[in-house]
Structure 1
Amino acid sequence: MTRPLRVLLLIDAFRMGGAETLLAPLAVAFRDSNVEMEFVSVLDASADAVKTNEILTEAGVATRALGIKRLLDPTAIPKVVREIRRADFDVVHAHLEMATTLAVPAAAIAGRSAVCTFHHVARPLTGREGARERLAVAAAGHAYRALFVSQASRDSFQEIYRPKGLPGNWGVMHNGIDIGNFVPGPVDAEVRTELGGTGGPLVVLPAAFRDFKGIPNAIRAWPLVLERFPDAVLSLVGGGSAEAELRAEVSAAGVGRNVVFAGIRSDMPKVYRAADIVLLPSIHGENLPTVLIEAAASGRVVAASRTGGISDIVVHGETGMLFEPNNPRALADTVIGLLADPGRCRTLGEAAVIRARSEFSASSWAERLYALYAEAAGKKR
């Protein structure tokens, strides 16, 4: 029997965040494969989030913590080296900055290959935050492969840290998510009514109420949409501290009857299927927004702004439509064009399902990672 490929997945901590919660579907995708993966955090377990641990436990993941207190702890790299040698791991895959900075030199000392993944779009940083990221980027230059989860992420890191040229070991590999519950299906009439879709077209905007999501632009665009489709409803699915400001925007735009605050929902597969269009008008900062992958897997046409990693998910004119960010007129024109052509919406939605399954499912992500792990291990073994 072939010896399993042993992978140490090292992360800063099991906090509540996108990178951390993605580990659960990854673990499930690798469950019946030739990969044995252990999940270890660099910091003490006190830095973990209860909810993240619950998600990982439900996925059958047992976590451990190395208890390293700070990046410059002289015992940090030796601890990681001992961890690599303890189970004779073939590859170390580091997620986030502290784990990358420690894993790459530790793997080299242990005679193993290191892979690292950056999960955000970079922006100029100063102080300790900037120093930590610079160290991680420097370490990544010596990894077998440095991965970025979107083209926008890699471009942003190159612009800030490597403007003279793209390092040869930098690549883009999209994360995958568990899309098992996100499938095309019939509309739940009760859910559609709860979202505000009582008669006219229903456009769902699923997002936390945060400034970079661009929700005010959707509200300002809605009077333009209503000129063509007087019964169209914009349903804001989410919540956050900016809700009072958004309600004021709705009042100022005079669209209170056509913009619904639907709250935070736990039945998102039904929410997506209830929508005619799923809208995300982000201004900046998006890396690889999960809601667009979920909507695409559900067979719903997406209209989103052309910023960050959104264009990695939405292929303009093929699986959805993109518009310029921070531009209510462009947003309105895009929504109007889609609502006026239901047949095109169906065609785009069908293509979106195929792309979501082939490029953004946890199983497709695991297949790409397995090929990389095997290649990296072969270079050292």
Structure 2
Amino acid sequence: MVRVLTLVDAFRLGGAETLIAQLGRVAGTAGFEMDVLSLLPPSDEHSKLEPLLRESGLTPRYLGIRRTLDPRAPRLLAAAIKESGADVVHAHLEMAMTLAVPAAKLAGRKALCTFHHVHRPLPGRAAWREKLAVEVASRSYRTIFVSEASRASFAEKYRKSGRIPKNWVVVHNGVDLAHFSPGPSLMPPEFGLTGRPVVTVLAAHRDFKGITHAVRAWPLVRAARPDARLLLVGAGNETENLGRQVTEAGLQDDVVFAGARSDVAAILRASDVVLLPSTYGENLPTVLIEAAGCARPVVASRIGGIPDIVEDGVTGLLTPPGDADAIADALISLLDDPSRRAAMGVTARSHVEQHFDAVNWARQLRGLYEEAAAGRPVGTAA
């Protein structure tokens, strides 16, 4: 059985990181063994994923590297790769993949790298870090993109010819549908939402997630459904700005800030609608697959790979990015129609069972891991 060391920048509660916990739940079923390693040292912010990892049967380990250009990093990581007994290394996120490829070579192993986002214009050092990650990752055994929209956006930006390199492949993420499943659930009592219709935004508080547009839409929702509440699950550098926006709009009684949570499946099951109002940069948002797994209808922006998950009018409703009026209209229409919400939820569950099941995803990855461990040239059939 092939053994894989999965490497990330940190054990944050982000979309890419939580996917690793889900992969851990199904790795054995899919036929490979998995270890997890964080480059950054433990901290309150960088260890929030630990409970989910342990729940998945994984033991979190930390390398203690704080920056990409630490001259000790490749040597320390190569030693950790050898110590783990891994046959291959799978890196997620920019810092991890930038270090994984040279370290894996030092350790005599093959590396694979996964990009979880669609390219978008970046300023200054962020642009430099992405460019470096792309060039290094392209020298790995396989560079994985989780949607065709993502692969095409990176090819357009970083390959002048527009030609996609042979080792750039698309593998859709999946989620553990045994964990994210339909069923009764109650909102945590500390939220004070018992008996109320709830619209949940589960996302990092970053500008591109568009949460400000959810808050802008809420006075219109409140006018139609004064009993409904907006639940914001997550944290980030926009939390303070969102809190100020809520206060200035007089929505303190309507919007609940829940912070980062590990009981995501229970919260999704207890939600009436799941909202993702992103404005750019979305690829294949895990939360939308998780919501569908829990048979919840969604309202989301028509950008990136989101239409691969949400069929407009069938499993949810798609709106133009940044359009608060359209968001409000979509939410009101679903909150006012419980039977439509239920029908969308059932169809959404069926859709993700066919296309985004974690076991199928893991089996596709296992095939790539086995090819890499065997040293098979890219493009060669088994």
- Shift of the alpha carbon at 1:302? 0.7
Query: Per the alignment, do residues 64 and 268 of structure 1 end up closer, same or farther by CA in structure 2, a change over 3 Å counting?
Result: closer
Which residue is 2:57 aligned to?
Answer: 60
Give the C-alpha shift of residue 220 in structure 1. 3.7
Report the RMSD for the aligned CA atoms in angstroms: 3.9
Of the candidates 271, 280, 283, which is equivalent to residue 284 of structure 1?
Answer: 280
Specify the alignment match of 1:241 in structure 2: 240
User: Which residue number corresponds to residue 217 of structure 1?
Assistant: 213
Looking at structure 2, the residues matched to 137 and 172 of structure 1 have their Cα atoms a distance apart, in angstroms, of 15
CA distance in 1, matches of 2:58, 2:188: 36
1:321 aligns with 2:320: no
Q: Show structure 2 runs of 5+ residues with no match.
A: 378-382
- Counterpart secondary structure, 1:242: helix
Cα contact 2:15–2:287 (8 A) shared by 1: no
CA–CA separation in structure 2 for the residues paired with 1:266 and 1:99 = 23
Give the counterpart letter for 1:213 in structure 2: K
Does the CA contact (< 8 Å) of 1:205 and 1:234 recur in 2?
Answer: no
1:194 is aligned to 2:192: yes
| Alpha-carbon distance, 1:102 to partner | 3.5
**Structural mapping, 1:1-381, within 5 Å:** 4-14=1-11, 17-31=14-28, 34-42=31-39, 49-65=46-62, 71=68, 76-77=73-74, 89-108=86-105, 112-125=109-122, 127-165=124-162, 166-186=164-184, 188=186, 194-195=192-193, 197-198=195-196, 202-207=198-203, 210-222=206-218, 224-225=220-221, 229-231=224-226, 233-238=228-233, 240-251=239-250, 259-261=254-256, 263-264=258-259, 268-339=264-335, 341-380=337-376
Query: CA deviation digits over 1:187-217, x for unaligned, max 9?
Result: 649969932755xx55344445554433443
Residue 62 of structure 1 deviates from its aligned partner by 3.4
Equivalent residues of 2:275, 2:300 under 8 A apart? yes
- Displacement of 1:366: 1.6
- Structure 2 contact 150–304 (Cα < 8 Å) conserved: yes
Q: SS where residue 26 of structure 1 aligns? A: helix
Call closer, same or farther: CA 1:82–1:207 in 2, change over 3 Å: closer
* Equivalent residue letter for 2:321: P
Shift of the alpha carbon at 1:369?
1.1
Instruction: Compare CA radii of gyration and give the structure with the larger one.
Output: 1
Structure 1 residue identity aligned to 2:334: L
Specify whether residues 85 and 350 from structure 1 end up closer, same or farther in structure 2 by C-alpha distance, changes over 3 A only. Answer: same
Matched residues in 2 for 1:88 and 1:274: separation?
42
- Find the aligned partners of 2:199 and 2:104 in 1 and give their Cα distance: 49
Tell me if the contact between 1:299 and 1:349 (Cα under 8 Å) persists in the aligned partners. Answer: yes
Question: Aligned with 1:380: secondary structure?
Answer: coil
Q: Aligned partners of 1:217, 1:47: CA distance in 2, in Å?
A: 29
Q: Is the 8 A contact 1:113 1:380 kept in 2?
A: no
Q: Do the aligned partners of 1:203 and 1:235 also contact (CA within 8 Å) in 2? A: yes
Kept in 1: contact 2:6–2:36 (CA 8 A)? yes
Q: Per-residue deviation at 1:94?
A: 1.9
Distance (whole Å) between structure 2 residues aligned to residue 114 and residue 225 of structure 1: 48
Measure how far apart 1:233 and its partner are: 1.8
Does the aligned pair in 2 maintain the 1:19–1:95 contact within 8 Å?
yes
Post-superposition offset of 1:353: 1.3
**Cα–Cα, structure 1 residues 352 and 359, in superposed 2: closer, same or farther, change >3 Å?**
same
AA at the equivalent of 1:184 = P
- Measured at CA, do residues 378 and 68 of structure 1 come closer, stay the same or move farther in structure 2, by a change above 3 Å? same
Q: Once the two structures are superposed, what CA deviation does each residue of 1:66-108 show, in whole Å capped at 9, x if it has no partner?
A: 5667645666545555655666643221222233234334545
The 3-state SS of whatever aligns with 2:140 is: coil
Task: Give unpaired runs (5+ residues) of structure 1.
Answer: none
**1:146 Cα offset (Å):** 0.7
Q: How many Å separate the matches in 2 of 1:196 and 1:350? A: 24
Contact 1:236–1:263 (Cα < 8 Å) also in 2: yes
TM-score by length of 2: 0.78
Q: Determine if contact 1:13/1:47 at 8 Å carries over to the other structure.
A: no
